[in-house]
Amino acid sequence: MKRGLALAVAGLVAACVAPDEPAPTPAPVAVVQPVETRSPAPAPIGPTTFLYQGELTQGGWLRGQVPAGTISAKLNDHGLAFDAEGRFFAAFDRDAPPTAVLSAVLTDGRTIESPLVVSPRAWDIERINASPTANVPSAEFTARRRPELERIAAARRIETGSSGWRQDFVWPATGRISGRFGSQRIYRGEPGSYHSGIDIATGASGTPYVAPADGVVVLAADAPFTLEGNLLIIDHGMGLYSAFLHSSELLVREGEAVRQGQLIGRIGATGRATGPHLHWGLTWRGARLDPLLFTGPMR
């Protein structure tokens, strides 16, 4: 009786579980991928518009800071370079028009503009009832002058990264101001060239002069130029250059870094000069600037 019952139970189990039936597949487990979250890009640090100060007048200058997020900037049609802090230098030619515009393109595509008012100046104009006395340049003079002008232009294209443009400039020498920036003669209605710098007369050759600000020497004439004599040009950075004419001796060489107040040359009368004096000129992107607006009155 018990044996029969055991056989019946075994048959029942065999009937319920087929020997060839695969084992049940476990239910798949859902894998939850972590959601990547990105922090919003930090807002650019800096001003929301142009900040600047300086001498907003003909022959003047300004230093400032571009708006935060600026990728390019201009003063009218002149591109502006700016450092990692967004600081820049710009200037106005002797004959600059009465208005100008600072503009910046930002990383988000916006353009910011800042209009400027450039005040006019009353230049020292002398009207002469005579024809210009200068002779027409000869072919020989033109041939000699061309490589000199090319060297000057090449020197003013050299960018050394100097930060002298950020300094308050000092006078390179003291003495009588014998020629002022912007003065001009008009011969029977025909304008002559205006004076492109400031002349400092000392009365004697050999008087030392110093660098008005930090910079790098980009031209030191190895022989006197036809008009400028022993010519020295210093790059102060951001497109701002000083030129010193008529030196009796140059005391620095091309490629040399100079510091504000460093002795760099001696005043003379080389080139086209009627007596010992230092002609100091400043240029920015081809614009001619008034050194007096960088230094203030001579003390």
Structure tokens at 190: 């025909």
More confident of the two residues 25 and 240: 240
Q: Mean pLDDT across the stretch 185-190? A: 88
DSSP per-residue codes, 16-53: HS-TTPPPPPPPPPPP-PPPP--PPPPPPPS-SS-EEE
Q: Mean pLDDT across the stretch 131-143? A: 77
Can you give the pLDDT at residue 188?
86
Query: In this structure, what are the phi and psi dihedrals at residue 106, rounded to the nearest 5 degrees?
Result: -95, 165
Per the prediction, the chain carries an average pLDDT of 88
Structure tokens at 252: 């620095």
Q: Mean pLDDT across the stretch 67-74? A: 97
The residues spanned by each domain of the chain are: 51-117, 125-295
| Coil/strand/helix, residue 295 | helix
Is residue 136 over pLDDT 90? no
pLDDT band at residue 39 using 50, 70 and 90 as cut-offs: low
Pairwise CA distance, residues 280 & 173, whole Å: 10
Q: Would you say 292 and 55 are in contact if contact means Cβ atoms under 8 Å apart?
A: no
Pairing verdict, β 78-80 and 51-55: unpaired
Pairwise CA distance, residues 227 & 150, whole Å: 14
Is residue 37 over pLDDT 70? no
Can you give the pLDDT at residue 10?
42
User: How many percent of the chain have pLDDT more than 70?
Assistant: 84
Return the H-helix or E-strand segment holding 55. Answer: strand 51-55
Q: What CATH number has the domain spanning 51-117?
A: 2.60.40
Fold held by 125-295: Glucose Permease (Domain IIA) (2.70.70)
pLDDT band at residue 8 using 50, 70 and 90 as cut-offs: very low
Is residue 38 over pLDDT 60? yes
| Coil/strand/helix, residue 279 | strand
Q: Mean pLDDT across the stretch 24-42? A: 57
More confident of the two residues 187 and 280: 280
- For 168, left (φ over 0), alpha (ψ -120 to 50), or beta? beta
pLDDT band at residue 42 using 50, 70 and 90 as cut-offs: low
What are the angstrom distances between the C-alpha of 30 and each of 23, 27, 130, 143, 265?
21, 9, 100, 87, 82
Q: Mean pLDDT across the stretch 152-167? A: 97
194-244 pLDDT per residue, tens: 999 999 998 889 999 999 999 999 999 999 999 999 999 999 999 999 999
pLDDT band at residue 23 using 50, 70 and 90 as cut-offs: low
Pairwise CA distance, residues 264 & 247, whole Å: 10
Q: Would you say 79 and 72 are in contact if contact means Cβ atoms under 8 Å apart?
A: yes
What are the angstrom distances between the C-alpha of 236 and each of 55, 57, 75, 221, 233?
18, 21, 19, 18, 10
Can you give the pLDDT at residue 87?
98
Pairwise CA distance, residues 232 & 234, whole Å: 7
Q: How many Cβ atoms are within 10 Å of 69's Cβ, its own excluded? A: 18
Q: Mean pLDDT across the stretch 169-187? A: 95
Q: Mean pLDDT across the stretch 112-136? A: 87
